Amino acid sequence: QWIYLNEQFVKKEEAKISVYDHGFLYGDGVFEGIRVYDGNVYRLDEHLDRLYNSAKAILLNIPHSKHEMTEIIIETLKKNLLTNAYIRLVVSRGVGNLGLDPKSCPKPQIIVIAEELTLFPKELYKSGLEIVTVATRRNRPDVLSPKVKSLNYLNNILVKIEASLAGVSEALMLNSEGYVAEGSADNVFIVNGNVLRTPPGYIGALEGITRAAIMEIAESLGYVVKEEPFTRHDVYVADEVFLTGTAAEVIAVVKVDGRIIGDGKPGNVTNDLLEQFREHVVKDGVK
Ligand code: PLP
CA pair distance 215, 210, nearest whole angstrom? 9
CA distances from 213 to 75, 83, 209, 244 (A): 26, 21, 6, 10
Start-to-end CA distance of the chain, whole Å, equals 21
Domain boundary residue among 115, 142, 172? 115
Tell me what the mean pLDDT of segment 236-254 comes to: 97
* Domain boundary residue, one of 115, 135, 154: 115
- The HSE-up count of residue 30 (CA atoms within 13 Å, CB side) is 23
Q: Judge if 108 and 146 occupy the same domain.
A: no
Handedness of CA 258, 261, 266, 271 (dihedral sign): negative
CA of 185 relative to ligand 1 center, distance in Å: 5
- Determine whether the shortest distance from the Cβ of 185 to ligand 1 is under 6 A: yes
Averaged pLDDT for residues 256-266:
97
Count of CB atoms situated within 10 Å of the CB of 265: 16
State the Cα–Cα distance between residues 13 and 223, nearest whole angstrom.
Answer: 48
- Distance (Å, rounded) from C-alpha 99 to C-alpha 65? 29
Say yes or no: 252 and 271 in one domain: yes
Q: In testing the pocket of ligand 1, which one of 48, 174, 246 has its CB within 8 Å of the most ligand atoms?
A: 246
Answer with the one of 59, 92, 115 that is the final residue of a domain.
115
Ligand 1, atom 4: closest residue by C-alpha = 185
Q: Side-chain half-sphere of 249: how many Cα atoms within 13 Å?
A: 26
Nearest to 242 by CA among 116, 85, 120, 118: 120
Ligand 1 atom closest to Cα of residue 246: 16
Ligand 1 near 186 CB (within 6 A)? yes
Radius of gyration of the chain (CA): 19
139 and 206 within one domain: yes
**Sign, Cα dihedral of 161, 174, 257, 121:** negative
* pLDDT band at residue 286 under the 50/70/90 scheme: low
Q: How many domains does the chain divide into?
A: 2
pLDDT tens-place string over residues 54-95: 999 999 999 999 999 999 999 999 999 999 999 999 999 999
Indicate whether 61 and 200 sit together in one domain: no
Identify whether residues 102 and 137 lie together within a single domain.
no
One domain for residues 154 and 56: no
**In whole angstroms, what is the distance from residue 23 CA to residue 95 CA?**
8
Average pLDDT, the chain: 95
Q: Report ipTM for this prediction.
A: 0.99
Residue 284 has pLDDT above 80, yes or no: no
CA-nearest residue, atom 6 of ligand 1: 185
Exactly one of 16, 56, 149, 265 is catalytic; name it: 149
Answer yes or no: 149 catalytic: yes
Amino acid at 134: V
Q: Which domain holds residue 102?
A: 2-115
Is any ligand 1 atom within 6 A of the Cβ of residue 201? no
| Residues 59, 189 share a domain | no
Q: Residue 134 maps to which CATH number?
A: 3.20.10.10
